[in-house]
Structure 1
Amino acid sequence: MRLLWAGFMAILAAGVGFSIRNGIGGQWASLFGFTGLQVGLIGGAGFSGFCFGIIIGGVIVDRIGYGKLVVTAFLLHLLSAAITLIPSAGMAQQSAFLALFIGTFTFSLANGTLEAVANPLVATLFPENRTHYLNILHASWPAGMILGALITLAVGSSWSWKAQLALYLVPTVIYGFMFFGQSFPRSEASAKGLSLGEMMKDVGILGGAVAGFFLYLFTRDALGGNILRGLTGSDFFVSANWNYISMAAGAGFLLWVAVITKFAIGHWLLFVLFLAHSIIGSLELGTDSWIEAINGTILSPSEGKILFIFASAMMFGLRFCAHWIEDKLKFSPITILFVCSLFAIAGLYAASGVTAIGMAFGAMLIYSIGKTFFWPTMLAVVSDRFPSTGAVAISMMGGIAMLSVGQLGGPGLGYGKDRFTAEHMKANGQTAILEANKAEKPSQWLEFEAVSALDGKKLEEAKSVAADKRTPEQKAMAEAEIAGCRKLLRTDAMLPIGMAVIYLLLLFYFKSIGGYKPLTIAEEEAAKA
């Protein structure tokens, strides 16, 4: 139990840092003039590094042991604080962006390394009830978000953003103490002496292709477009040549998986679960990284923070109920995932139309029920059905989801907010206002067209003025952002619609084979025979 709660505290530290960063994003936009896309890219870095921590950690954890990874994560958390706290008023925008991006990336690298420990550890400790205990473990995430939001709500502008952000180091020290001196179990796959290649066979070429694709996006956009371009000032890292290098990185990973598994194709079900979890990453964490700001825009900043705390509190409480849902309602993990998708669809559509705080509480309640069980229940499904993969499959799946947030969910929602806001202004004859207040650089994401985005500093200034005292120009910008946020939430609802289709098809599949049940390695091998 001490190991369970040590893992709980480790993920709580990640949630605290995530929540505080969300709460100070507006200060960064105001201080450095960032666009919504730039804020989204920094937020996305808070997930991209997670991929490398969890995948690399998941591959080596059964070889080097949990303790060494915990020490590595602890040191990375300290390093991330040192880098992230460098920017100050008056610093050039690009320099500030680069420091915040790298510091946030390092923070997520530490988080991923910790989760490479916590997920397989809990799955191994509680093999008969993985869904329940993995949900308890991940209740720490909303608990951390609640603490972080309460911190920013309590201290507000009376503390600097640096002082607020540094508070995540408190739970960091606590989890380090709780893990210290503990002995750790081995996974079933590790105990049976399976090699890495044998653990990776169910991942195979299909699963490797999913991970390789997101690695390509990261290398091209985050590493090339942001980190290396910012460090060198060279456009080579956004050129066609760099794109080929990025393709080679993704293909190289796929080739490594193919070779180590002796070109095993991989299990189709694990491939589908990888795809579904990539959508979950963008939906749950991508939306979480923006929902406070979106609600704060539609209503007010303080109400947005209160709603964020409420949604996180619902998520925290509900994650202790997974066992009751399985036991009393007789829901299989796949049924839980399907029902959650329906709630997420309804919640996002409801949130897009709120006009008062009471309506917003109802919408956030529905959405919270939807998003609560996605992540830990998916980890339980993979652990239940593919025990021979040890820590590898659940670590890769978590890494894929986090890369999805970093490269698609976080920046995609930021781009969508910029684009829908600009489209509203153009549709209402406010193009001149948009041009007069646009950011220095256009907002562009993936292969979508570049759009003129409102300058973050000017937009925050407009919103800081009381509604009845705004100039016509300020009023136009504020109202356009509200309209853009509403359309963004409706567009975001397409993600759980896709997930509902996947889970419905999986329900039919498991019904056709006699129902869902956890497998041992022996049962898994017999099923393949």
Structure 2
Amino acid sequence: MEENINKQKLFIGSCIALVVTSMTFAIRAKLELVFGPDGVGLNLEQIGTAFAPAFWGFTLAMIFGGPLVDRLGIKKIAWIAFITHAIGITLTILAYDMNSLFIATLFVGIGNGMVEAAFNPMVASMFPNKKTKMLNRFHVWFPGGIVIGALMGWLVMDVMGLGWQIMVGLLYVPLIIYGLIFWGKKFPVTERVQMGVSFGDMVKNLGKPLFIFMVICMLMTAASELGTTQRIESLLHNSVAYPLLVLAFINGIMALGRAFAGQVIHKLQPAGMLLFSAIFTFIGLWLLTITSDGFTFVAAGVFAIGVTFFWPTMIGFVAEYLPETGALGLSVMGGAGMLSVSLVLPIMGRLMDTANATEALRTMSILPAILIVAFLGLNIYMRKKYKTPLVQGD
């Protein structure tokens, strides 16, 4: 059965599905101005509320999709992702107020969640001996897709002066491509099924202290990264002419970093990468509060170096060190991350409505500050348990 599975095509298809997910993040950032005070007339807190289901919808999809991946199979969850993506994109084009945008964003969020629920365990299952490396390569296409979406949004609306509906309609292109790639393909079973771990044992392993610790940290790593980049237009509106280009710059650095993650993983190990990431994220957020114009790109670059490895390394750490938690464990991790972003977006909007963008950024910097301490402790724990140094030699 293993011989009939085309791992390369499945991996490519999963990457393109993730491009759809990530393009929605970039396009949503541009829609903030379309539906904002100078457009439809929503205030920043209302926009945060309308965008929130992209994240808690994602969370619900991952938490329910995680165990369903084992029961229904990766293939069926992949097609659920395709269908909900198609519905969400269409409803976004038809959106005209907060409620219609809310419903459209919910379907997009469910589609995005199903992509992660299906393909994180699929990648871990297909590449059991290099999980963190291949999950980083898979997640290259999250920042990669954001770069594509940000540049497309800038070209369509700012350069060509076309309508925002055309910008959103571009999402149909990668959607159709990944649907065609998956058509008629055989998919692998999840690693939990391969290992013969029962559903009850998988659930029981979710109670391990190390897993609970990683879930708590995921709340903060995801909010630090996605909470900031999702509100980039509002946060940097007074600092640079085209905040969407800063978003493309950040995600370009992230894509390059994840593409060459293998060497970094070899040197630092997952726990070391997370500590490194927390330090640079904290410095980057603080620099963004005190810079403007060209220096904003310097600060954004430091921030990008920080958040590059957060998401895939958190997922990879669980896949590598807590494989008994199965697809559900990976889904709980991703779901926790997106849930935290759904909570952070309205809070950031309120801070920008009542105070300013600088105050919002400074408040966000508290999260990586906590993570520095948490990941320092994780490194000490991992070095004692696995007898590995913080930095590996050649």
* TM-score, scaled relative to structure 2: 0.93
Report if aligned partners of 1:287, 1:409 keep a CA contact under 8 Å in 2.
no
2:65 alignment counterpart = 57
Residues in 1 aligned to 2:78 and 2:323: alpha-carbon distance in whole angstroms: 23
Alignment of 1:117-516 (within 5 A): 117-156=118-157, 158-203=161-206, 266-300=207-241, 302=242, 304-327=243-266, 330-357=267-294, 359-406=295-342, 408-420=343-355, 484-515=356-387
Residues in 2 aligned to 1:416 and 1:160: alpha-carbon distance in whole angstroms: 30
Residues in 2 aligned to 1:308 and 1:364: alpha-carbon distance in whole angstroms: 8
By how many angstroms is 1:375 displaced? 0.4
Report if aligned partners of 1:298, 1:355 keep a CA contact under 8 Å in 2.
yes
Residues in 1 aligned to 2:230 and 2:322: alpha-carbon distance in whole angstroms: 31
CA shift in 2, pair 1:25/1:383, >3 Å: same
Moved over 6 A (4+): none
By how many angstroms is 1:192 displaced? 3.4
Report if aligned partners of 1:347, 1:365 keep a CA contact under 8 Å in 2.
yes
Which residue identity is paired with 1:202?
A: N
By how many angstroms is 1:124 displaced? 1.1
By how many angstroms is 1:494 displaced? 0.5
Which residue identity is paired with 1:419?
A: T
| Secondary structure of the corresponding residue to residue 259 of structure 2 | coil
Report if aligned partners of 2:70, 2:189 keep a CA contact under 8 Å in 1.
yes
| 1:287-329 deviations in Å (ceiling 9; x for gaps) | 11012432232222x2x122111111101111012111123xx
Residues 1:80 and 2:77 aligned together: no
Alignment of 1:14-33 (within 5 A): 14-29=21-36, 30-33=38-41
Report if aligned partners of 2:89, 2:171 keep a CA contact under 8 Å in 1.
no
Report if aligned partners of 2:33, 2:233 keep a CA contact under 8 Å in 1.
no
| 1:256-309 deviations in Å (ceiling 9; x for gaps) | xxxxxxxxxx21110000000011121111111012432232222x2x122111
Report if aligned partners of 2:62, 2:113 keep a CA contact under 8 Å in 1.
yes
Paired positions, count: 379
Residues in 2 aligned to 1:87 and 1:311: alpha-carbon distance in whole angstroms: 29
| 1:373-392 deviations in Å (ceiling 9; x for gaps) | 00000111101111112211
By how many angstroms is 1:488 displaced? 1.5
Report if aligned partners of 2:65, 2:77 keep a CA contact under 8 Å in 1.
yes
Report if aligned partners of 1:132, 1:320 keep a CA contact under 8 Å in 2.
no
| Secondary structure of the corresponding residue to residue 138 of structure 2 | helix
* TM-score, scaled relative to structure 1: 0.70
| Bigger relative contact order (CA 8 A; separation at least 6) | 2
Residues in 2 aligned to 1:193 and 1:131: alpha-carbon distance in whole angstroms: 22
By how many angstroms is 1:83 displaced? 2.2
Residues in 2 aligned to 1:104 and 1:125: alpha-carbon distance in whole angstroms: 31
| 1:109-160 deviations in Å (ceiling 9; x for gaps) | 0110111111001111111111111111011111111111111111215221
Residues in 2 aligned to 1:192 and 1:23: alpha-carbon distance in whole angstroms: 44
By how many angstroms is 1:13 displaced? 0.5
Report if aligned partners of 1:277, 1:397 keep a CA contact under 8 Å in 2.
yes
Unaligned runs of 5+ residues in structure 1 are 89-95, 204-265, 421-483, 518-529
Residues in 2 aligned to 1:352 and 1:45: alpha-carbon distance in whole angstroms: 28
Residues in 2 aligned to 1:309 and 1:50: alpha-carbon distance in whole angstroms: 23
Unaligned runs of 5+ residues in structure 2 are 1-7, 390-394
Residues in 2 aligned to 1:77 and 1:131: alpha-carbon distance in whole angstroms: 27
By how many angstroms is 1:178 displaced? 1.4
By how many angstroms is 1:191 displaced? 1.9
| Secondary structure of the corresponding residue to residue 200 of structure 1 | helix
By how many angstroms is 1:418 displaced? 1.3
Report if aligned partners of 2:222, 2:310 keep a CA contact under 8 Å in 1.
no
By how many angstroms is 1:340 displaced? 0.7
Residues in 2 aligned to 1:400 and 1:161: alpha-carbon distance in whole angstroms: 31
2:392 alignment counterpart = none
1:525 alignment counterpart = none
Report if aligned partners of 1:292, 1:307 keep a CA contact under 8 Å in 2.
no
Residues in 2 aligned to 1:286 and 1:7: alpha-carbon distance in whole angstroms: 24
Residues in 2 aligned to 1:409 and 1:278: alpha-carbon distance in whole angstroms: 10
By how many angstroms is 1:516 displaced? 5.8
Residues in 2 aligned to 1:47 and 1:390: alpha-carbon distance in whole angstroms: 22
1:2 alignment counterpart = 9
Which residue identity is paired with 2:185?
A: Q
Report if aligned partners of 1:314, 1:369 keep a CA contact under 8 Å in 2.
yes
By how many angstroms is 1:493 displaced? 0.6
Which residue identity is paired with 1:365?
A: G
By how many angstroms is 1:201 displaced? 0.8
Note the aligned Cα RMSD (angstroms). 1.5
| 1:348-368 deviations in Å (ceiling 9; x for gaps) | 1111111221x1111011000
| Secondary structure of the corresponding residue to residue 7 of structure 1 | helix
Report if aligned partners of 1:70, 1:176 keep a CA contact under 8 Å in 2.
no
Residues in 2 aligned to 1:345 and 1:192: alpha-carbon distance in whole angstroms: 39
| Secondary structure of the corresponding residue to residue 128 of structure 2 | coil
1:68 alignment counterpart = 76
